[in-house]
């Protein structure tokens, strides 16, 4: 029904404004050159190169047609749509949860950290990790990174180390499904983390924005469904699931009355476009998400098989959730600079180096939510370039 193979011009199209495909800013800093070649394939940013579901576009256009875009407040339909999604998707009744809008995931994490900690407090993050540094360090808190154990792409937690960290921290930012590893934490792991955090009075801020993007043989469960709502602030939104990151629309879910009181004076204006899009996403676009996941299942299978065949020294595991590949190239014996040259200068592909995720640059993150033809071309170029180094 939906054409995920369509290649949409995001480089030159009027009104695109894509940071992912721009030839300046963050893309240029990742590339590390004075300019980006015209044939570059950008796989570094966690947004998709797929058009949104038509019902979402229609909802946004209806707002545009209205012609006035003043200060806006979420309607009852907005909250009802979020509640419906959790009930339909996760069999989780959130009718008695407090729901607060936020401008994007980074802002949501920052706001949550500010409300449950004080300046100088420590905040736990599992590494490698999506960059929470700016959300924590920039507001005077200290990020306390705990390195997960990596066994050929299988990541696990040392719970003795985790508990020691909880003795000196005030909050824990959990990313599930985990970015960049693609790991979905098991019920047992979630229960253990929640038990330790509650024992040491550590608030869990659960970033679940990738939760709807899951492989067909895997299951994601919201943390509060597994362990209950005590001591938990959940952050979620339409941005990743429906490819609406440009709207920066996120929300908090809180049932713990002690934590919800911290938000009594909180205010964040939602744009009318965010409100309309959220209602359309959660009420009318579930079939688009289902088809997206099926497309990603097949694409990830093909890409990972290609890597195993054409770049056998690279270590990559199919992600359980997200559309991210976290690839270890260390067995090729290249220096960081040589590996960068292979991927960026020779293959003309933009990824994100491991140092962005508190790991080493032999790891590279690729966001492959793009038409399969484009993604396969990118990895074919990388394979040819890295194999020419033999």
Pair (94, 225) in one structural domain: yes
- On whether both 228 and 327 belong to a single domain, the answer is no
Task: Report whether pLDDT(128) > 90.
Answer: yes
Query: With 90 as the cut, is the pLDDT of residue 24 above it?
Result: no
* Same-domain pairing of 101 and 177: yes
Range(s) of the domain holding residue 242:
55-284
Structure tokens that stand for 310 in this block = 């054409």
For residues 154 and 273, state if they share a domain.
Answer: yes
Query: CA-CA distance, 95 to 152, in Å (whole number)?
Result: 42
Give 267's contacts (C-beta < 8 A, 6+ positions apart): none
Task: Calculate mean pLDDT across residues 109-119.
Answer: 97
**Radius of gyration (Cα) for the chain, nearest Å?**
21
What pLDDT is stored for residue 123 in this prediction?
Answer: 98
Q: How far apart are CA 18 and CA 26, in angstroms?
A: 11
pLDDT of 209 reads: 98
Among residues 269, 284, 299, the one where a domain terminates is: 284
State residue 267's pLDDT score: 87
For residue 247, what pLDDT is reported? 96
Q: What is the pLDDT of residue 390?
A: 65
User: Average pLDDT of 235-260?
Assistant: 97
Q: Name residues whose C-beta falls within 8 Å of residue 8's C-beta, 6 or more positions apart in sequence.
A: 49, 50, 51
Q: Is the pLDDT of residue 34 over 80?
A: no
Is the pLDDT at 60 greater than 80, yes or no? yes
Do 76 and 221 have their domain in common? yes
Other beta carbons within 10 Å of 5: 12
Whether residue 233 is found in the same domain as residue 310: no
Per-residue pLDDT tens over the stretch 199-243: 999 999 999 999 999 999 999 999 999 999 999 999 999 999 999
**Residues 61 and 89 placed together within one structural domain of the fold:** yes
Residues 222, 301 within the same domain: no
Per-residue pLDDT for 365 more than 90? Answer: yes
Q: Same domain for 30 and 76?
A: no
**Percent over 90 (pLDDT), the chain:** 91
pLDDT tens, position by position, 258-287: 999 999 889 888 999 999 999 999 999 999
| Total domains present in the chain | 2
Structure confidence at residue 125 (pLDDT) = 98
Same-domain status, 170 and 212: yes
Give the domain CATH number at 121: 3.40.640.10
For 49, counting Cβ atoms within 10 Å of its Cβ (0-12 exposed, 13-18 middle, 19+ buried), the class is buried
Final residue of a structural domain among 221, 251, 284: 284
Domain boundary residue, one of 284, 314, 335: 284
Are residues 174 and 318 located together in one domain of the fold? Answer: no
Residue % of the chain over a pLDDT of 70: 100
């Amino acid at each position: 029904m939906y054409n995920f193979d369509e290649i949409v011009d995001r480089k030159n199209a009027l009104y695109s404004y894509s940071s992912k495909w721009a030839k300046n800013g963050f893309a240029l800093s990742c590339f590390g050159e004075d300019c980006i070649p015209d044939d570059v394939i950008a796989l570094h940013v966690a947004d998709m190169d797929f058009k949104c579901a038509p019902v979402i576009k229609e909802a946004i256009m209806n707002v545009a047609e209205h012609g006035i875009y003043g200060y806006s407040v979420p309607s009852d339909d907005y909250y009802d749509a979020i509640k419906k999604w959790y009930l339909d998707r996760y069999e989780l009744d959130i009718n008695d949860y407090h729901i607060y809008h936020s401008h994007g995931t980074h802002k949501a994490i920052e706001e949550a950290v500010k409300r449950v900690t004080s300046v100088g407090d420590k905040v736990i993050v599992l590494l490698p990790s999506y960059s929470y540094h700016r959300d924590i360090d920039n507001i005077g808190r200290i990020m306390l990174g705990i390195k997960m154990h990596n066994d050929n792409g299988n990541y696990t937690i040392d719970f003795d180390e985790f508990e020691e960290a909880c003795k000196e921290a005030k909050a824990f930012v959990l990313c599930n499904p985990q970015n960049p590893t693609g790991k979905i934490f098991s019920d047992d792991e979630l229960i253990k983390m929640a038990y330790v955090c509650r024992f040491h009075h550590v608030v869990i801020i659960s970033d679940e924005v990738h939760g709807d993007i899951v492989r067909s043989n895997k299951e994601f469960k919201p943390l509060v469904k597994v362990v209950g709502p005590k001591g938990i602030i959940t952050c979620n939104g339409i941005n990743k699931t429906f490819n609406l990151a440009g709207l920066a629309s996120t929300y908090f879910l809180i049932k713990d009355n002690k934590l919800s009181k911290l938000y009594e004076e909180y205010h964040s204006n939602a744009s009318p476009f965010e409100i309309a899009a959220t209602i359309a996403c959660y009420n009318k676009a579930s079939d688009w998400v289902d088809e997206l996941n099926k497309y990603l299942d097949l694409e990830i299978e093909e890409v990972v098989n290609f890597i195993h065949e054409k770049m056998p020294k690279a270590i990559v595991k199919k992600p359980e959730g997200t559309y991210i590949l976290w690839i270890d190239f260390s067995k090729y014996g290249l220096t960081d600079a040589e590996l960068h040259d292979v991927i960026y200068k020779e293959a003309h592909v933009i990824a994100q180096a491991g140092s962005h995720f508190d790991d080493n640059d032999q790891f590279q993150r690729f966001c492959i939510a793009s038409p399969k033809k484009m993604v396969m071309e990118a990895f074919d170029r990388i394979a040819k370039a890295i194999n020419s180094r033999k």
